[in-house]
A and B are shown apart, each in its own frame.
Chain A
Amino acid sequence: DIQMTQSPSSLSASVGDRVTITCRASQGISNFLAWYQQKPGKVPKLLIYAASTLQSGVPSRFSGSGSGTDFTLTISSLQPEDVATYYCQKYDSAPPTFGQGTKVEIK
């Protein structure tokens, strides 16, 4: 099975900072990559699919890029409400696999 590895595992940044999270697949998955946001104590929420397509209602400060094995999620200007754990998920084929998560905190 294809493994998904995120880095870093956690990060701390200031409000207004640009934040980048990386997700790497152990084999190529084209652009079959989604990102989810899980705020503390809440349900995961779909942010981005097809590597770079924003789900309806997601703020434009979130963006995604990449194809093949390497992907990034970028928050252009970190806001207090962005404190959460972010997960990537590959869906090129079953089983769908999540990355281990990246916890984003405010410095």
Chain B
Amino acid sequence: QVQLQESGPGLVKPSQTLSLTCTVSGGSISSGDHYWSWIRQPPGKGLEWIGYIYYSGSTYYNPSLKSRLSISLDTSRNQFSLRLSSVTAADTAVYYCARGKKVQLWSAIFDNWGQGTLVTVSS
């Protein structure tokens, strides 16, 4: 049973960089069948997809976040990471990492989610 767990600071100052890591256990991040994903949910609001990374290191980002976003992976540690720069209060959200079951190119259904971590942007 694959499990995902987010880790990182719960509080980030405005204009700084938000950094989170997702540790995958019970399965390999080097699986060619999956896109490893970040999804966020502002308090009381809906779900917003942030981006994908494939085991090859290829990425696809939400166009609305692309200029501030970087997703990377560390296959030796079975982890993938999110960096979002120049954050504002609008970036306050629960951040989930999720496993996307690959359907076709850059297309996935999210069949396994981490527990989520709340990141607050505030001075």
Contact = CB atoms under 8 A, between A and B. Distances in A.
A50 B95 CA distance: 26
A89 B113 contact: no
Given A43-B115, A91-B103, A98 B109 contact: no
Interface residues of B, number: 22
Interface residues on A, range: 20 to 34
B36 to A, nearest CB: 14
A36 B115 CA distance: 15
A32 B47 contact: no
A96 B50 CA distance: 9
A12 B22 CA distance: 37
Given A94-B52, A95-B63, A98-B49, A89 B115 contact: no
A64 interface: no
A99 to B, nearest CB: 8
A91 B111 contact: no
A91 B46 contact: no
A43 B109 contact: no
B111 A46 contact: yes
Interface string A70-100: 0000000000000000010101111111111
Contacts of A101: 46-47
